[in-house]
Every structure is written in C-alpha cells, then in structure tokens.
Chains A and B, each alone.
Chain A
Amino acid sequence: MTEPIAAQASEHEHADFRPLYYKIFAALITLTIVTVAVSYVPFKEMGSFGYPLSVAVAFGIAALKASMVVMYFMHVKFDGKEIYVLIAVPLLAAAMLLFGLMPDVAFNGW
C-alpha cells in the first residue's frame, strides 16, 4: 500500500536542482548588497513622498528576495498549485491589515 506513494515521490525528485540553488544564492547575495546600497539614496530630499517611497523600495527589494526563496528554495514553483492558494490567502489578509490602517497616515497631517 505504501508502494504507490513511494513511487510517486521518487518520480519528480530525480532532477538535480543544485545549479539552480547556487544561482539563487548568488542572486540573494547580490540583492543584499543592492539593499544596503539603496539605503544610501537620499530619499528624504525628494519631498513629502520621499519617506514612504524609501519604505516602499526597501519593502519591494525584500519582497523580491523573499519570493526567490519561496519559489526556488521552498520549491513552490515546482509543487502543485494548491500551495499558491494557501499562501495567497494570508498575503491578502496581511495587505488588508496594512492598508486598512493606512488612510489616516495617508490623508491626515501631510
């Protein structure tokens, strides 16, 4: 009874992902350097939107790095679509949390 599962599991695990892992590793190191470099950009001199912009840029690069880890190291890209649905729900909830609290910040005192 366990045989079909075992056969199923070994079927898609033959591939050698190591070259891909090394590429992702190099990309993550590079993006970390970019993250540090971007922190020296004088966003504050760009007016009132400079500050939120600096938060958005820092968050954006982090999101790119995170998606690389999730897609390739965590194999979501090669797994079933079910995992996408599973991740999408809390991301949507997290976005609601953040943007639900934003209006006061966005419209008052600026």
Chain B
Amino acid sequence: MSTALAAELPGSPAVKENVPQGKLAMWLFLVSEIMFFAGLFGAYIVLRIAHPELFAPDYLEKNFHKLNEVLAGINTLVLICSSLTMALAVHASQHKDDAGVRKWMFLTAFFGVAFCTIKGFEYAGKFNSGIFPGTSIFFSFYFTMTGVHLVHVIGGIIPIAWMGLRSSNGRYTSNGNSTIEYIGLYWHFVDVVWIFLFPLLYLLK
C-alpha cells in the first residue's frame, strides 16, 4: 500500500491509535461480561437483603449444609497467585522472553487447574450431602454463579496452556504481538468475578 493512501485511511498508522484493535475488542467482550455477571449479582443481592431469613446460617445449617469457606478461601488465594503469574507472563512477552512466557503461562494454567480441582471437591461435598441446584433458591444462586465462573476458568486454562506450549521463536514476543496481554485481560477479569463471589456467597452471615 502506498504511503499516501495509507495516510488517508482512518485507522492507518498515520492516524494515532489510542487503543489497539485487539485490546479494544477484548475490553468490549469483557464489558458484555460485566453486564452478564451484574444481572446475577444484582438479583442475588436484592433477594438476599429482601429475604435474609432464606440465607441465615442457622437456617442453612438446619435444613441443608453450610458452604465450605475454607476451600473457597484457598481458591481465592490460588486465583490471586494465578493473576500474578499472568501479569508476569505479559511482562515476559513484552521483553522478548519466550521461555519466561512459557513458564508463567504454564504456572497460570496450573493454578487454574488447582482452582478447578478444589472446586470439584467442594461440589462433590455438596452432592454427597444431597445438595443440588434445585435444593433452595440459595443453592440455585450458588451453583449458577460458581458454575458459570468455573466455565470461565476452564475457558481460560485451555488457551493459556496452549499458548504456553507454543511459546517459542518469538511467536508471542516479537514486536507488536500482544496476544498474551489480551488473554491476560480475560484471565484477570475471571479473578475479579471471584473476588466478588467469595465474600458475597461464602462469607456473608
């Protein structure tokens, strides 16, 4: 393409791009995700304040089973660790460090798998106690919110592990390649959702 033509086209390098297209696309996706989770959180908070008796620990304990705060707390720490390793993977990708990208992406995927494993034990405990999504409105929220979040975690682990596997010869580290940064945005968002889920679902008394 001739330089003269390129200069006239909007979005061409001659026009200053404030937000790269890939980043803008990822943020637009995350913005739609915010609305998706806002609906769930909004309904949950309103119902909880309107009917505290449905969520009182003595009521839950007498009728069913309390949520496992310890497993959820450990999972919170696991996800925070994975956010740190993700940030370090992005740093490595911006500093031409193929091996670093591989290492930090694998570690991030590992923490993701650890989260899913712990979640699996938590769900197993519920099922063994005869608790299912239809048990009560509280457990409908519990399984829907944590389940949808779990799907997001799994949806993150797969590309993160895949990219870690393929990180060599500057595939993700050559100039201008921001793939790791974009998947990182998604992963941090998954962490943010859990940051709200943990206290609101597990800790409120």
Contact = CB atoms under 8 A, between A and B. Distances in A.
Contacts of A93: 35, 38
B19 A79 contact: yes
B31 interface: yes
How would you classify the secondary structure of chain B's contact residues: helix, strand, loop or mixed?
A: helix
Interface residues of B, number: 59
Interface in B118-147: none
- Size bracket of the A interface: 35 or more
Contacts of A98: 38, 41-42, 45-46
Interface in B63-100: 69, 73, 76-77, 80-81, 83-84, 86-88, 91, 94-95
B80 A25 contact: yes
How would you classify the secondary structure of chain A's contact residues: helix, strand, loop or mixed?
A: helix
B6 interface: yes
Contacts of B84: 21-22, 25, 73
A22 B81 CA distance: 10
Interface in A25-79: 25, 28-29, 32, 35-36, 38-39, 43-44, 51-52, 54-55, 58-59, 61-63, 65-66, 69-70, 73-75, 79
Nearest to A109: B50
Nearest to B191: A69
B199 A90 contact: no
11 contacts: A5-B17, A9-B178, A10-B175, A36-B73, A38-B203, A61-B199, A62-B198, A69-B191, A70-B188, A86-B28, A94-B42
Interface of B: 1, 6, 12-13, 17-20, 23-24, 27-28, 31-32, 34-35, 38-39, 41-43, 45-46, 48-50, 52, 69, 73, 76-77, 80-81, 83-84, 86-88, 91, 94-95, 175-176, 178, 181, 184-185, 188-189, 191-192, 195-196, 198-200, 203-205
